Structure 1
Amino acid sequence: MAATFDLTLDCVDAPVLAAFWKTALGYADEPPPAPFATREEWLAQFDLPEDDPGTGGGAWLCDPDGDGPRLSLLQVPEPKTAKNRLHIDVRVPGHGSPAERWARVRAESERLVTAGARVLAEFDGHHVVMADPEGNEFCVAAAPA
Structure 2
Amino acid sequence: MASIKKFQVTFDCAEPERVARFWCEVLGYVAPDSDGTESPAWFSATDPTGEGPRLFFQRVPEGKVVKNRVHLDVRAGTGLVGAERLAVLEAERDRLVALGAVHLYTQYANDEDESCITMQDVEGNEFCLD
Q: Same fold (TM over 0.5)?
A: yes
Shift of 1:60: 0.5
- Overall identity of the aligned pairs, in %: 40
Structure 1: gaps of 5 or more residues:
41-54
Q: Which residue of 2 aligns with 1:49?
A: none
Q: Which amino acid aligns with 1:134?
A: E
Q: Which residue of 2 aligns with 1:46?
A: none
Instruction: Give the conservation status (yes or no) of the 8 Å contact 1:56–1:76.
Output: no
Aligned mates of 2:58, 2:96 — CA distance in 1:
22
**Counterpart pick for 1:100 among 46, 59, 84:** 84
Structure 2: gaps of 5 or more residues:
110-114
Aligned mates of 2:126, 2:120 — CA distance in 1:
4
Shift of 1:19: 1.7
Query: How many residues are paired up?
Result: 123
Runs of 4+ in 1 over 6 A off after TM superposition: none
Shift of 1:30: 3.5
- Tell me the alpha carbon deviations over residues 53-104 of structure 1, each in whole angstroms, 9 at most, x when there is no partner: xx76111000011111110000111111111111011101554442212211
C-alpha RMSD of the superposition: 1.9
Shift of 1:39: 3.3
Residues 106-145 of structure 1 mapped to structure 2, 5 A cutoff? 106-125=90-109, 126-141=115-130
TM-score (norm 2): 0.85
Aligned mates of 2:61, 2:80 — CA distance in 1:
45
The answer to whether 1:85 aligns with 2:69 is yes
Going from structure 1 to structure 2, the CA distance change for 1:115 and 1:56 (only over 3 Å counts) comes to closer
Q: Which amino acid aligns with 1:139?
A: C
Instruction: Give the conservation status (yes or no) of the 8 Å contact 1:122–1:129.
Output: yes
The answer to whether 1:14 aligns with 2:1 is no
